[in-house]
Structure 1
Amino acid sequence: MENYVTDLLDRMNYTDDRNMEAGYQSSDTISWKAHREAESLKDAAFIPLLISFLDKEKDKKKRDKAYFALGHLAKNTNDVAALNFLIKQVEKEKDKYIISSLLDRIAALNKPAGTDLHPLLQALKSDKWLIRHSAIQALNNSSDAVAESTLIELIDTSGDSHDITYSNSVLNKIGTLKAIPSLEKHANSRKRDVKASAKYAIEEILKREKQAADS
């Protein structure tokens, strides 16, 4: 089993010189096929092996591939240990591209109430927009009220239209009636993306509330 994980990560990192040849399709490469294989992982027994690999591996490219595999495995198994490990790693990584990619993996995972979101909330304060925007989106699929409260505070105080747009988009998915007053402030923004994302968020929140009331 450990050999399989090592082999999969090696194939994900494999560079095929034929990529440069005319007419050669990316879907034919060893790496592309290995990434699709990683996306379909469902055996939770691989989780401790990937965590052990990440605890030891220093090469950032290999770490990035391992996060990709573990992120999809966590999504497919809904494993809490894998989720918590990935979130904690946000504070440990130093490369902004690795952190952003890691946050993108976390965004797709269900984060139940009580999940320690502190590393994600800290990443929201980054002066690097790549990390900040990914951190905002990483709060998607969060059931903890602190995620919504943090995004409301952000759209109330931020002067960055991109931060606001991304926050509105996440509130579109996790927001409640509590978020509507803050969203309404941006519904008439001169920034097209800010305005549209705020309106869509309000519509979706009201739709969810109506469905909940009718059920």
Structure 2
Amino acid sequence: MGNDSDHNMEAGYDSSKTISWQAFREAEKQENESYIPQLIDFIEKEKNKKKRDRVYFILGHIAKNTGDITAINFLIQRIEKETDKYVISALLDRVADLKKPKGTDLRPIIKAMKSEKWLIRHSAISALKQSSDEEAENALIEVLNNSTDPDDLTYANAALNKVGTLRAIPYIQNLLSSRKRDVKLSAKLAIEEIEKRYTFTKSTDR
């Protein structure tokens, strides 16, 4: 006799049909800005970190789909309010998906980049990927200059791949001789992408 979990694993079982899976997929499509004040209010009052984490997921997708600056700023500011490393890391991963326009307060992200917990630190470095402010590039260059952690360097190269300017190239070039394959490869790809971006910009300006 098998138990319920055995039935779940029978041939033809599709995890995408479960209620929780469908709920998450629906949340990813959500773009109703009228929900934002309610979700913010819920997060500020909710004591259960797992429930807050789930609502961050929903709010993060609404922010991504609508570009709502209130939601974006709120999620960034919540980075300093949370204490659980898994919740903070997941929140930073939500923030990484958001386009952060020039003038966005990136200080909570930059502070998290200095965390002793690698899970938080790496998510924070990645969270600058879609930032338009030069403060993001400055913070990533600082990682290249000061960190000896290969993963820190690889994540910073990957972020500069997206937001770096020609100014970042000399700092990235220093890593082309790294003995760590991921560091070297991510540096090479970042330089190529930055140069391609600026070559394209020049050609369209003519």
Fold shared per TM-score above 0.5: yes
Q: Which residue of 1 aligns with 2:166?
A: 177
Alignment partners' CA distance in 1, 2:5 and 2:90 = 26
* CA deviation string 1:104-126 (max 9, x = no partner): 00000000110000100110110
Alignment partners' CA distance in 2, 1:194 and 1:145 = 23
**Structure 1 stretch displaced more, 122-131 or 25-34:** 25-34
TM-score, normalised to structure 2, is 0.94
Q: Which residue of 2 aligns with 1:74?
A: 63
* CA deviation string 1:61-109 (max 9, x = no partner): 1111100000000000100000000000000001000000000000000
Q: Which residue of 2 aligns with 1:116?
A: 105
* CA deviation string 1:128-148 (max 9, x = no partner): 000000000000100000100
| Runs of 4+ deviating beyond 3 Å | 17-20
* CA deviation string 1:149-191 (max 9, x = no partner): 1101111111000000000000001000010001000012110
Say if 1:136 and 1:167, in contact at 8 Å, map to a contact too: yes
Alignment partners' CA distance in 1, 2:104 and 2:6 = 42
Find 2:132's aligned residue among 143, 147, 163. 143
Q: CA deviation at 1:21?
A: 2.5
Alignment partners' CA distance in 2, 1:150 and 1:98 = 23
Q: Which residue of 2 aligns with 1:10?
A: none
Q: Which residue of 2 aligns with 1:63?
A: 52
Alignment partners' CA distance in 1, 2:66 and 2:107 = 23
**Mapping for residues 1-215 of structure 1, pairs under 5 Å:** 21-23=8-10, 24-215=13-204
Alignment partners' CA distance in 1, 2:62 and 2:162 = 23
Alignment partners' CA distance in 2, 1:133 and 1:59 = 25
Say if 1:19 and 1:25, in contact at 8 Å, map to a contact too: no
TM-score, normalised to structure 1, is 0.90
The 3 A distance-change label for structure 1 pair 19 and 129 is farther
Alignment partners' CA distance in 1, 2:73 and 2:134 = 18
| Aligned residues between the structures | 199
Q: CA deviation at 1:18?
A: 5.2
- Residue identity opposite 1:34 in structure 2: A
The 3 A distance-change label for structure 1 pair 59 and 197 is same
* CA deviation string 1:33-75 (max 9, x = no partner): 0000100001100111110110111111111110000000000
**DSSP-derived class of the 2:114 partner:** coil
- Residue identity opposite 2:53 in structure 1: D
**DSSP-derived class of the 1:125 partner:** coil
Alignment partners' CA distance in 2, 1:63 and 1:82 = 14
- Residue identity opposite 1:159 in structure 2: T
> Structure 2 unaligned runs (5+)?
none
